[in-house]
Chains A and B, each alone.
Chain A
Amino acid sequence: MVIAAAVCPWPPALAAELTGPDAAIEQLRDACAQAVERLVRNRPELVAVIGPAQVTRTWPADSRLDMSVFAPALGRTGGRAGDPALPPSLGIGALLLDQAGYPGPGCRVLQAVAEDEPPAACAELGAEIAGSSRRVGLLVMADGSARRSPRAPGHLDPRAAAFDAETERALRQADFGTLLDMSPGMASELMATGRPAWQVLAGALRQATATADVLYSDAPFGVGYLVAYLEPAGEPTAAHPPPPAQPAPAPGRGASR
């Protein structure tokens, strides 16, 4: 059962060693730290870090980001020579947990989800993770469109701002149905690499109603960064596979779909 979820982007610049002082990145770091702090304050039994990568698979829980893949001069900071490199989305997530003082590796899962994983598979993965323990925390590493401005990594696509605004709305309103409906094709065109990770989140929380806070939403470098904290309402139920049909909402309570 998911007791709380934090959503953060994963620009490598979040790692202070990789970038010099920058006010916009500092602001983002603070928001991510806040979201992760709230997550770990709930004392989850384990935190599953979800992040986009080439292949859907888990990585050893004690894995750390090797910063030398972005900055050769820093030397290897994680992994061993010859081993495949930990996806940076998970590496930045692990870094945020370390910085929040969350103990590991016994209580972490590092779950990579393929960039082209279909929505249904993402949702199923989310439901599996939700059912894997009584008190699961989710740290969802996900970015919006990298096409938000002329100087963005993906240059400007005029559709990008509206796409990111809709994602923000969906998170703010804990509208998991909208997240699950997000088109992989459109997300890919807009370089919104967070699509599969948000859909894992949506699959994990689909059966819940949740409250959400959006702690940061901006694109200072042309990439949409969203930081949010979500908490399902109500008592955690016993872990079991998700029912095939959505139960009707109780009268007077907002539905999450």
Chain B
Amino acid sequence: MAIVNRTPDSFFQPGVTWDERAAMERVHAAVAQRADIIDVGGVPAHPGGVVDVAEEIRRVVPFIAAVRGAYPDMVISVDTWRHEVAIEACAAGADLINDSWGGWDSRLAEVAAGSGAGLVCAHTGGQAPRTRPFRVAYQDVTADVLDQVISLAERAVAVGVDPSRVLIDPAHDFGKNTWHSLEVTRRLADLAATGWPVLVSVSRKDFIGETLGLGVDDRQAGTLATAAICAWLGSRVFRVHDVAQTRQVLDMVSAIRGDLAPSHALRGMV
């Protein structure tokens, strides 16, 4: 899942795809690098200048329509927590609603059902959109994650979302500190064991930066290591900035697991 942020102020490379042409170039590159999903978002996760519904729609919906026009068969997700944005985005061609804020707007599931779209069900521990965790504590963070994502997934199906289009996401760093994010990574197999396909969004995140003591531009290796672990433990979808390198990580893990044949195995056999 390739990240295309239609924002001027996201945490990594702010504004790099704010210009529509730059954003479309990014889409072309991601497709060429074998991305499976294009994820379009208009509001940064951190607090900051207000982006209301109208502005968020302006940022993402026409662009989604443009991506759909250029790539009729590409899976497109809209990164939003708001049902008003999701309705428009699905009408413009989005297939999946990537709600990182854990069902804060409970009408999102109904919109997914009505549009035939899929839904990502994320864990936030109840944190409100665009807020930061404050001394957040869990008796058992993995249990809390499972509880929230499974409830959201079951509710989504109950209101009519196609169960084969529901994903669960532990949502690293959302309502969690670095230790919590590491723990849910370590316990990722428990999420995969639920049977719901798992999506992880770890790219360049602060839990990687705090683990290694590195700024946002230097978290490449940490990101890829985390992606590899998540893949090994059963995650199916990876929301990333760097498609090409993540693709290589996933292919390598798949080959090690025995799910993918080597591209070219001649050495020792000629």
Closest CB-CB distance, B215 to chain A, in whole Å? 14
Assembled-state Cα–Cα distance A152/B132 (Å): 8
Chain B: which residue is nearest A12 at the CB level?
B135
* In the complex, chain A residues 63-105 whose Cβ is within 8 Å of any chain B Cβ: 69-74, 85, 88
Q: In this complex, what residue of B is CB-closest to A71?
A: B179
Among B47, B48, B134, B141, the residue within 8 A (CB) of A72 is B141
Asked if B182 contacts A69 (CB within 8 A), the reply is no
Q: Of A69, A146, A152, which is in contact with the most chain B CB atoms at under 10 Å from its CB?
A: A69
A118 within 8 A of B: no
Residue of B134, B142, B179 touching A146 (CB-CB under 8 A): B134
Interface membership of B180, Cβ < 8 A:
yes
B179 with A88: CB separation less than 8 A: no
Answer yes or no: A242 CB below 8 A from chain B CBs: no
Please indicate the chain A residues that have their CB under 8 angstroms from the CB of B47 in the complex.
Answer: 150, 155
Q: Interface majority SS on B: helix, strand, loop or mixed?
A: loop
Q: Is the CB of B135 within 8 A of A154?
A: no
Inter-chain CA distance A18–B141, complex, in Å, is 16
* Chain A contact residues, majority secondary structure: loop
A18 CA to B210 CA, complexed, in Å = 12
Q: Contact at A73–B135, with CB atoms within 8 Å? A: no
Contact of A184 with B by CB under 8 A: no
* B190 close to A (CB within 8 Å): no
Contacting residue for B131 out of A73, A74, A154, CB 8 A: A154
Is there a chain B Cβ closer than 8 Å to A191's Cβ? yes
A contact residues around B182 at 8 Å (CB): 73
The answer to the question of B234 belonging to the interface, with a C-beta cut-off of 8 Å to chain A, is no
Q: Collect the chain A residues with CB atoms within 8 Å of residue B186's CB.
A: 73
Q: Tell which of B48, B132, B179, B213 touches A70, judged by Cβ atoms closer than 8 Å.
A: B179
- Let me know if A85 and B134 touch, CB within 8 A: no
- CB nearest neighbor in A for B132: A153
Bound Cα distance from A88 to B141, whole angstroms: 16
Given contacts A71-B179, A72-B180, A73-B182, A153 and B137 within 8 Å (CB-CB): no
Chain B interface residue count: which class?
20 to 34
Chain A residues, CB < 8 A from B131: 153-155
**Which chain A residues numbered 112 to 169 have a C-beta less than 8 Å away from chain B?**
146, 150, 152-155
Chain A residues near B135: list those with CB within 8 A: 11-12, 70, 88, 153
| Contact present for B133 and A69 (CB under 8 Å) | no
Which B residues touch A191, using CB under 8 A?
134
In chain B between 110 and 145, which residues have their CB closer than 8 angstroms to a CB of chain A? 131-135, 137-142
Q: Which residues of A have CB within 8 Å of B201?
A: none
B177 in the interface, Cβ–Cβ < 8 Å? yes
B134→A88 contact, CB < 8 A: no
B36 part of interface (Cβ distance < 8 Å): no
Q: Which residue of A lies closest to B47 (CB)?
A: A155
Q: Cβ of B242 < 8 Å from any Cβ of A? A: no
Is A73 touching B179 in the complex (CB atoms < 8 A)?
Answer: yes
* Residue pair B177, A153 in contact (C-beta under 8 Å): no
Docked pose: A71 CA to B131 CA in angstroms? 21
Residue of B nearest to A13 (CB): B135
Q: Judge whether B137 and A85 touch: CB under 8 Å.
A: yes
Q: Mark A5-19, 1 if CB is under 8 A from B, else 0.
A: 000000110000010
Question: Are B134's CB and A154's CB within 8 A?
Answer: yes
B183 is an interface residue with CB less than 8 A from chain A:
yes
25 contacts between A and B (CB under 8 A): A12-B135, A20-B213, A69-B138, A69-B139, A70-B137, A71-B177, A71-B179, A72-B138, A72-B140, A72-B141, A72-B183, A73-B179, A73-B182, A73-B183, A85-B139, A88-B137, A153-B131, A153-B133, A153-B135, A154-B132, A154-B134, A155-B47, A155-B131, A155-B132, A191-B134
4 further contact pairs, Cβ within 8 A, besides A12-B135, A72-B141, A150-B47: A71-B177, A72-B180, A146-B134, A191-B134
